[in-house]
Amino acid sequence: MKKDRKPLPGSECFESLGKTWYLAPIGPAITDTYSAWCRMRARRATDRDKSLMTADEYIEEKRLTKQQIDAGEYEWGPPVEMHGTGMGPGVFALFNSEPGRLHLLRLLMEPAHDTLTDEEINAVNGDSNGGLGEAFNTVFFSRYPWLRPIESESQTETPTTPAPAASPPTTSPAPTPNPAGATPTP
């Protein structure tokens, strides 16, 4: 891991691997970069599957991919207050995938920690005792407060069992953006 830098204002911190880690706030620079990555993934998926298609099928698939990109399916625009995240369907699908979560975490961590590999992100997550998930939820719900799960009174009074943790499941290296288990509306 490389030398750390000063975190951006509004960053959330958590402890892991004996040091403090920071997630930058989700803003236009993050969403634009993530959208570009999603478009690149869509184009590469079509090219990767070329050998499985006839020439005409490949041309049609390239046309459909371009049409989806041009229609904004791979854009993460400004939040639509009280409705959703501004994510197009292609962005939303990748956001809910392991590669998409890892890439978003990488983008959120880069301003303070340089580029991290998937293995480094997994190690940070594994040692954070739920801290990475809590920090991600804070960053995510700071941008999209209308998506935060509403706690009932029975949950806020002395719970007998722990509430669903914001930390990711052990099989997923990245946090789920909603501790109640629901996914945000695109």
Evaluate whether residue 184 is within a structural domain: no
| Alpha carbon distance 18, 2 (integer Å) | 15
Q: Which amino acid is at 92?
A: F
Q: With cut-offs at 50, 70 and 90, classify the pLDDT of residue 78.
A: confident
Evaluate whether residue 113 is within a structural domain: yes
Total tally of structural domains belonging to the chain: 1
Evaluate whether residue 53 is within a structural domain: yes
| pLDDT surpasses 70 at 38 | yes
| pLDDT surpasses 70 at 179 | no
pLDDT digits (tens, 9 = 90+) for 99-127: 999 999 999 999 999 889 999 999 999 99
Our CA angle for 31, 32, 34, nearest 5°, is 65
Evaluate whether residue 162 is within a structural domain: no
By residue range, what is the domain housing residue 96? 12-146
Residue closest to 149 by CA, chosen among 140, 159, 157:
140
Evaluate whether residue 46 is within a structural domain: yes
Q: Are 148 and 109 in contact (CB under 8 A)?
A: no
Evaluate whether residue 27 is within a structural domain: yes
> Taking the model in full, what pTM does it have?
0.76
| pLDDT surpasses 80 at 31 | yes
Q: Using CA of residue 13, residue 141, residue 129, residue 162, what is the dihedral sign? A: positive
Evaluate whether residue 122 is within a structural domain: yes
pLDDT for residue 85:
87
Averaged over 147-164, what is the pLDDT?
Answer: 53
